[in-house]
Amino acid sequence: MTLDKSLVTIAPKSFQAYEDAVVSSGCSVSTMNENVGALIWTDYSDPQGLAKMIHENPQLEFVQLPFAGVDAFVDILNLPVRFACAKGSYREPVAEHALTLALSLGRVIPERVRATSWGRKHADSLYDANILIVGGGGITEELIKLLTPFRVNITVVRNRDLPLEGASKVVLFDELDKELPSADWVILACSLTDKTRGLFNKARFELMQPTSYLVNIARGSVIVTEDLVEALNSEVIAGAGVDVTDPEPLPEGHPLWSAKNVIITPHTADTNVQVITAFSIRIRENLAAYRGQGDWVGLVDPELGY
């Protein structure tokens, strides 16, 4: 067997943009065979299929995963291949979406679009607000840039005690509860791991101010949905904007649809067109790194789960 580092398989579904990215990196698209060492995996919903392909092709050295979050693949990240994900690839549109949700909540847009009468006058401004962002990755970095003109005071909760440019303060997860009572907006931008699953539950909502808002552009399971519904309807918090839900898709008739002051977008912070364009760039970057012609981007740490 002679491994050919110029051969790349795209599976289970390919797009012309991905094939063009492979070619522009100096590689060739190939069906899977014993000479292929790199795999571009394009299906987030089939980790078993990926595991099967890796087991059947022990020569594989590198697998590029399609999205920033790798929670669906957590059970196979210990297999003997190098995994990279798309973290950071979709940072701009997702950060933009988070800002859109935050601004809309402050102006009670969920209430106004449903209104059939003049109603109350109310608005909360982002200017000089206290913003708590959970997660310290590329989306947070981009969101901090977007928030800078509002003179906000930003606290970031993350796994590593490392500063982030533009953040007033960075704290570890064990300080989350201490920071929640002073936040005007809480924005979830973290990976889904054992540490973050169900992170926002009844107890944490009760730590938030009744005037504060929650935005989730991370994963739906970071929030206990039933507790969010209760917190909204009981006015424990002022409102929520979520681009991700648990369950997802959110079924028709689910109580979250009719909860007070909630905006639900159907996981559209990054659309298919945006994903294909950005993921093509990541493919080129990491195939160059695979061939020793550049730096790796978005490598997955199996222990951290992202």
What would the pLDDT profile of 115-134 be if each residue is shown by its tens digit?
A: 999 999 999 999 999 999 99
- Residue 269 φ/ψ, nearest 5 degrees: -60, -35
* pLDDT-above-70 percentage for the chain: 100
pLDDT at 45 over 80: yes
Domains 4-89+272-290 and 91-264 share a fold: yes
pLDDT at 68: 87
pLDDT at 131: 98
pLDDT at 2: 78
pLDDT at 102 over 90: yes
Burial of 40 (0-12, 13-18, 19+ CB in 10 A): buried
- How far apart, in whole angstroms, are the C-alpha atoms of residue 68 and residue 87? 4
Q: Classify domain 4-89+272-290 by CATH architecture.
A: 3-Layer(aba) Sandwich (3.40)
Q: Record the tokens describing residue 215, joined without a space.
A: 């935005």
Q: In the predicted model, what is the mean pLDDT of residues 195-201? A: 97
pLDDT at 69: 87
Q: In the predicted model, what is the mean pLDDT of residues 138-160? A: 97
What would the pLDDT profile of 219-262 be if each residue is shown by its tens digit?
A: 999 999 999 999 999 999 999 999 999 999 999 999 999 999 99
Q: In the predicted model, what is the mean pLDDT of residues 11-15? A: 94
Model confidence band, residue 208 (pLDDT cutoffs 50, 70, 90): very high
Instruction: Enumerate the domain spans of the chain.
Output: 4-89+272-290, 91-264
- How far apart, in whole angstroms, are the C-alpha atoms of residue 280 and residue 268? 19
Taking the CA atoms of 44, 156, 222 and 78 in sequence, report the sign of the dihedral they define: positive
pLDDT at 1 over 80: no
pTM over 0.85: yes
CATH of 91-264, one of 3.40.50.720, 3.90.10.10, 3.30.590.10, 1.10.443.10: 3.40.50.720
pLDDT at 164 over 70: yes
User: What angle is formed at CA 56 by the lines to CA 52 and CA 58, rounded to 5 degrees?
Assistant: 115
Q: What is the mean pLDDT of the chain?
A: 96
Which residues are known to be catalytic?
219, 248, 267
Q: In the predicted model, what is the mean pLDDT of residues 68-77? A: 92
pLDDT at 204: 98
pLDDT at 179 over 80: yes
